[in-house]
Structure 1
Amino acid sequence: MKLTKPEDKLIALAGIVAVFQRFLGEYLAGIWRNWLPMDLLWCTRWKAWSRAEKFRAPSWSWASIDGPIMRRYCRFDEGMHEALAAVVDVSVAYKDSHASSLVTGAELHIMGKLALAGPRAGCESSYYGDDFRPFEFRDVSQCPPDERKVDVKFDDSRDEEDRSTGVCLPIKRNAPSNGIHGLALRKVEGQIFRRVGLFVRWRFTTFKFERLPQTTVTII
């Protein structure tokens, strides 16, 4: 919906949140805690939109984006999908310490396996179409080139223009196809990252990726 002031995005939902919170539990800057980490797999619709210039929500929340989003990859069915990451802790700070006011900061601590990724050399097309960009895993060297392919859908066109290496954090695996969905991240400092998009891997038939060590990172 269109708002006069974009910064009111979460405030405008506060009344609805108050009604549903009794059934759905803790609410964190646009996402229900009970539905983490799968609800992190939202993505922008069509071409990359833009992230708010002024902080409104953490990068892992759809509320940080100005433009329509979709949740087609958030689905999780027992037997059909396998979780590849787990939320360790999450905190959201609000102005005046009230959950219906402006968000002033947030941290998501998540445990999973990080793989370096960068643009696929000499390749301009993606399996998923124009909205995605062709990338490849960089630290799974024992995998053949075809097994390193990954496609990234950026949240913000400014991040899409930055062709530097980032990391991929797998969130779930599709059991029948062995495909992977996860977050594309860029380092801020140390083990602190920000979300820049969603990545998908249609098939990943080897087990080299699973040999990477488990680590806990913070996404802001």
Structure 2
Amino acid sequence: MTETATQTQTQTKTETQTQTETRTATVTRTETETATVTETPSESPTPTPTSTEVAAAPTSDEGTTWWPWLLLLLILLGALTWFLIRRRQAQAELQAWDDRLLAAEREASWVEDSLTTQVLERPSAAEALPIWTAAQPRLLEIDEAFHALATEAPDGARAERVTDVRGLLRGLVEAVGADLATAPTADPDQFRARRAVIDSARRDLRATLGPVESPAAAADSDRPDAGV
């Protein structure tokens, strides 16, 4: 009886422990698997934008919206400023050239209206020659001024104007010089022919220059080194 009870208790404990261990292991595995399945979605959480990120987005958008326009505006203002300055400089250079041309044409007008008249009014070439000789440096300066103007002309029309006036002026100077270089004993017909050439050169030059200026303006253009 005692051995039977002992065996029964031993078997009962063994079975109980075995069952208990089996249940425990089963529960443990079940819980572990359940926990694993439950926790798996939480390993890759969907990122949720924070309020700071949401608030920062409009600032980035605003920055990329206005600064290119500001840069473009600065470029346009710079280009406009450069254009206005360059235009003003070009106008100033053009005005300076026109002023030089006006001064040279006044000198040419002085040759036709004043110097030539004084030379032709003298009764003889001997009396007229000193006046003409004294004016030679001024005549040379006038010719050089027209040459410089033609070289630096800003456009074709102005260059053509300078060339025309210079050519007509040189024609008049050469005609007067030829008349003074003729011997006093020359034939009267030759004398009249030379004066006709001078008169024609004067008319052509005067037609190109326009009417003679007032005496006050002519006096301002005259210089003391004329020698007349």
Structure 1 length-normalised TM: 0.20
Q: Look at both structures and tell me which one has the larger radius of gyration over its CA atoms.
A: 2
Q: Structure 1 or 2: larger strand share?
A: 1
**Higher helix proportion, which one?**
2
Tell me the TM-score normalized by structure 2: 0.19
